[in-house]
Structure 1
Amino acid sequence: MRIAILGPLAATHHGRPVAPTAAKPRTVLGLLAAYANDVVPVETLIAELWPDAPPRNARTTTQTYILGLRKLIHAAAEAVGAVPDAKQVLVTTPVGYLLRVPPSSVDAGHLERLANVGHRARERQDHQGAARAFAEALSWWRGPAFMDVQAGRKLRVYAQRLTEIRLNVLDCRIEADLRLGRHHELLGELSTVTAQHPTHEGLVAHLMLALYRSGRRCEALDAYQRLRAALVAEQGLEPAPALGRLHRSMLNADQATTDLTETWQATHGPARRTAPQARIPVEAAAMPWSVAPQA
């Protein structure tokens, strides 16, 4: 069985679609897929299906939904001449139900696995490897998780967790691309994503650096002011100190062409006495924006 939850819910068994079309059975499949290979108690399913007031026959109705899912799984196997295995795929336990699938069958697992590969590459300062792994992780994303599923509290929390993972992976992929000197290529994407997340300080910092290195210092400074206004208005907060240091460095910077076109990697490398000095101090421009420079 293969299951996709990073966007519209989709499931296939032996290549045949098995996702139900009715709302509540889709919720059951979504919850079982989110916690694949773990037992989901009946009470948890009932709470997800009827968050306010479960009907008296809630348990029986839930069993009916499980039977319906098994029929779809059975029919998919039968259609291709495979051994019917519905009860081995959707398992009944003393307390609930378990969807037994290989870990690689759920797309969210690939997102998290590749994100971990990217983080390990990032720790090794392998920016090319990190950018590649993070980009591959993001390629599994087809839209908001469970976007066509009637989600209760449990699925909403799980979907929010996946959204946070995606945003973190996006942040890290853009940072890796900046370190590889891809500031011109990132401007369109960063303009869009910071409009969607106007108070995300990491993404705005990336936008500032990309604009600065593209010769657009005034726009980089404007991006900081928009972030500051949004933070003050929405949360009563000033930008983080590291972001303030980056802003001050840009305010004091000379707009010399050599400074503006210098790649992140060049700035990140060890300083040489004969090399032109970047106007943005190395500790502000080369290190991840959230890391305070050493005294």
Structure 2
Amino acid sequence: VNRSTGGCFLLLGFSDRPSLQPILFLLVLLCYLLTLAGNSALVLLAVRDPRLHSPMYYFLCHLAVVDAGFTTSVAPPLLAGLHGAALRLPRGGCLAQLLASLALGSAECVLLAAMALDRAAAVCRPLRYSRLCSPRLCRALAAASWLGGLANSAAQTALLAARPLCAPLRLDHFICELPALLQLTCAGVRGAHSVESQMLAARVIVLLLPSAVILASYGAVGRVVWNMRSREGRRKAVGTCGSHLTAVCLFYGSASYTYLQPTHSYNQGRGKFVSLFYTVLTPALNPLIYTLRNKEVKGAARRLQKSLGRRQDRQ
């Protein structure tokens, strides 16, 4: 068996579908620009407007930064590869992309769980909300999201880097994604099965533990909403949680398909289309999901626009 500890990875991307490449290039470019613009606008509004200085928008700011960074770790090399030829990445560059995307993706899992806890507290314990979701607790949860994501990513990347890869280093994918890279590891190496099982267990924990928190939070919300007699109260509760629940379904649905299946059953050709959904499309949709029906964000945008207009008039 040929083993490789260096060299370059050949990422085929969508070079096997040349007629699809121009459409995907425009779609990815549009989504990337929307991701940067939409998430930057969300952070700007939440930082500048005192009315948005609440736990919900604090976590939303962190989610916006994660989404922008997540897509940035993927979109530029993907756009470069959509010009027709397959993309070559050195081993170090491939591992760096894996480290960044895994860290940001794992952080998003924990952030979405923290946001679910915040929404459950707002609906189920409105009178104790300010005490339950104190600034100190919010900062701790945000720090846990970033540090937990980085720790998971560093551990998984280090374990992969220590394993020999068998030539040819060829991926039917557009990014260096963990399930695809694991298929390149040499079979028959001592302890390989144990290491792969540990890595799968870590991925299961990162995805399923936050999922359990989200399900428990929305189970509590559902019970409260069911017992409400006021239709207006139900509508407000659903509006409070609907945007976050939509974002959760979009992200977890595609990420779970990619990371919760055994390595031997992962199909790279099908997996790259699923990965396109949660690495490029979902981060572009999140700002729209959180703002289209959000009166507070719309009000903050109008106030910022008026403030900028007055400044221009003074000048």
Q: Same fold (TM over 0.5)?
A: no
Give TM class, smaller chain: under 0.3
Larger helix percent? 2
Scaled by the length of structure 1, the TM-score of the pair is: 0.26
- Structure with the bigger RCO (C-alpha within 8 Å, sep 6+) is 2
Larger radius of gyration: 1
- What is the TM-score normalised by the length of structure 2? 0.25
